[in-house]
Amino acid sequence: TRYCPSFEDKVMRFPHHETHQIYLEPEGAFTDEYYLNGISTSLPPDVQWQMVRSLPGLENATLSRYAYAVEYDFVLPHQLHNSLAVMKWPNLFLAGQINGTTGYEEAGGQGIVAGINAAQLVGGDRSPIVLGRDQAYIGVLIDDLVTKDITEPYRLFTSRAEYRLLLRQDNACRRLSKIGYDIGLLPERHYRQVGELERQLAEARDFLDNTKVSGQSLWRRLRTKELQLDDIDELRGYGAEVCRQLEIEAHYEGYIEQEKNQAKSLQKLTEWKIPSGFGYDMPGLRNESRLKLQRIKPDTLAQAARIDGVTPAEIALLQVHIKRFRETAAAAV
Ligand SMILES: Cc1cc2nc3c(=O)[nH]c(=O)nc-3n(C[C@H](O)[C@H](O)[C@H](O)COP(=O)(O)OP(=O)(O)OC[C@H]3O[C@@H](n4cnc5c(N)ncnc54)[C@H](O)[C@@H]3O)c2cc1C
């Protein structure tokens, strides 16, 4: 595959390379076995012997286990809801490689969502957790899976996220604690710690916004880097985490605000739920878009807008028809 190509794949794809690096990784402290990183292959055993023994230094090496390739089937992920429930069998939740992804984090990230949502379902009338693209990388991953055409094993890269300045490692607690707490996963004492961090941040921010030096607020001076946090005595009492958050927000505020605004306009489309039973046979929709919408069955207009090839004009058209559909349904009650 693209992300873990075999040696024979590499030979075909990169014929212009004259050399190839192979790392000899000891398998452990108490064994003479080495893992040959960079030479994964499914060529026949006799070829593997020749390949390994052709490497300088390995002329007398012995192969204790042959390399092999892994092949697996997967479920077409557009047949899943963004809760990771299978559309056809909504009591069944799938996560990981079976959904067309590859990777540890990809599997783990889906696993926690599928597990939470299975528990939500069993726990009674509780709605599933769906993380937004502006809330978590897991949100980007699952939204891509259920919306985009997955034609090769999917890997989650930071570049797949539109809101990378919002999805930072340093603010993970601030982004996700409430969700974790509300569903009973995050213990109260941890949630309180995050609440206290927010309180201190708001307090410090209030001070910086409202304290002026030569007509300019301290916050503005921090933003333009005329001042450093260390220069402000009143902030000495705050912990390192508060100072770190203040510093990041001051230096990147303009860009962060831009992303928040973009996320807000996406949120508006997210609020446009596509009613079940809504058909896509209206005039004005191109055939290609209609087929994709019918196949993917997006839950919201935001998801519809992210389908490759569906245009903004078609989203506007869908908006009109969803409104009409709702009015007709309401009138029929
Ligand atoms: C050689 C190799 C190297 C890799 N290296 C990396 C790497 O460096 N970094 C990375 O991020 N990813 C790597 N990957 C990919 C990564 O390992 C997988 O994508 C990931 O582990 C998939 O996790 P999963 O939970 O979806 O599936 P799996 O880990 O395959 O788990 C599925 C489980 O279901 C069990 N099972 C199957 N059928 C049944 C059944 N009928 N009843 C009960 N249980 C069943 C299986 O035994 C298995 O334990 C590598 C994969 C391979 C093969």
Dump pLDDT digits (tens) for 125-176.
789 999 999 999 999 999 999 988 888 889 998 888 889 999 999 999 999 9
Q: What is the atom index within ligand 1 of the atom nearest the CA of 108?
A: 25
Of the candidate CATH numbers 3.10.28.10, 3.60.150.10, 1.10.287.3510, 1.10.150.570, the domain formed by 287-332 belongs to 1.10.150.570
Ligand 1 in contact with 70 (CB < 6 A)? Answer: yes
pLDDT score, position 1: 63
C-alpha 89 – ligand 1 centre gap (Å): 23
Q: Which of 6-10, 187-191, 298-302 has the highest mean pLDDT?
A: 187-191
Token pair in block for residue 73:
């089937």
Report the separation in Å between the CA atom of 219 and the middle of ligand 1, taken as the mean of its atom positions: 49
Q: Report the share of the chain in percent with pLDDT over 70.
A: 99
- Whole-number Å distance, alpha carbon 7 to ligand 1 midpoint, is 21
Please give the Cα distance from 132 to 7 (Å, whole number): 38
Helix, strand, coil: what percent of the chain each, to 5? Answer: 50, 5, 40
Give the confidence band of 5 by pLDDT, cuts at 50, 70, 90: confident
Angstrom distance (rounded) from CA 114 to CA 133: 17
What ipTM was assigned to the predicted interfaces of this complex?
0.97
Does residue 104's CB lie within 6 angstroms of at least one atom of ligand 1?
Answer: yes
Q: In this predicted structure, what is the pLDDT of residue 119?
A: 95
**pLDDT for 150:** 83
Distance separating alpha carbons of residues 306 and 143, to the nearest angstrom: 9
pLDDT digits (tens, 9 = 90+) for 198-218: 999 999 999 999 999 999 999
In 187-232, at which residue ranges do the beta strands (DSSP E only) sit? 212-213, 216-217
Q: Would you say residue 122 has pLDDT above 90?
A: yes
Mean pLDDT over each residue of the chain, to the nearest integer: 93
**Which of 25-29, 94-98, 105-109, 266-270 is least confident?**
266-270
Average pLDDT estimate for 23-30? 96
Domain ranges of the chain: 1-70, 77-161, 188-258, 287-332
pLDDT in tens, 82-118: 999 999 999 999 999 999 999 999 999 999 999 999 9
Task: Check if 103 has its Cβ closer than 6 Å to any atom of ligand 1.
Answer: yes
Considering only CA atoms, which of 125, 157, 162 is closest in space to residue 258? 162
Residues 6+ apart with CB under 8 A from 161: 133, 137, 140, 167
pLDDT of residue 265: 82
Going from the Cα of 102 to the center of ligand 1, the distance in angstroms, rounded, reads 8
Q: Topology of 1-70 in CATH?
A: Elongation Factor Tu (Ef-tu); domain 3 (2.40.30)
Dihedrals φ, ψ of 47, to 5°? -70, -35
Chain segment 284-327, per-residue pLDDT in tens? 898 889 999 998 899 999 999 888 888 888 898 999 999 999 99
